[in-house]
Amino acid sequence: MLKFTKDHEWVRFEDGTATVGITPYAQDKLGDLVYVELPPVGTKLETGAVAATVESVKAASEVYAPVGGEVVAVNGKLVDEPGLVNSDPTGNGWLFRLKIRNSAELANLLDEPAYRALTG
């Protein structure tokens, strides 16, 4: 089950780890991605901190940590294939994984109906 932020990140929580990416809505608004900058493994992030950057031919956009935690993995495929975010944003286009510090923070995220209402 996916959860969402108002800043257009998605989160999939499994076994204390949150996989994070940008939503289909966000990648559609950005257009074709040409570059993705990921956080180094081991980086400790607070909720709302800038975690990554995605760049398209239109614009660059920051990706924020939806919950606080430590980066335990990044999707290295995106270095050579940033377009994976466009073709499969909630699958192979994931950006990074966080070991969550406080799972109670997940309650602050939006469910799918609430996110759909936000994006109209």
Residue at 17 is within a domain: yes
The per-residue pLDDT for 50 is 98
CB 27, CB 86: distance < 8 Å:
yes
Residue at 108 is within a domain: no
pLDDT, mean of each 10-residue run, the chain (120 residues): 95 96 96 96 97 94 97 97 96 97 94 95
The per-residue pLDDT for 58 is 87
What is the domain count for the chain? 1
SS3 99: strand
The per-residue pLDDT for 24 is 96
Phi, psi of 109 (to 5 degrees): -85, 160
pTM of this prediction?
0.95
The per-residue pLDDT for 1 is 84
- DSSP H or E stretch at residue 117: helix 112-119
d(CA 58, CA 19): 26
Domain residues for 46?
A: 2-99
CATH number, domain with residue 15: 2.40.50.100
Residue at 106 is within a domain: no
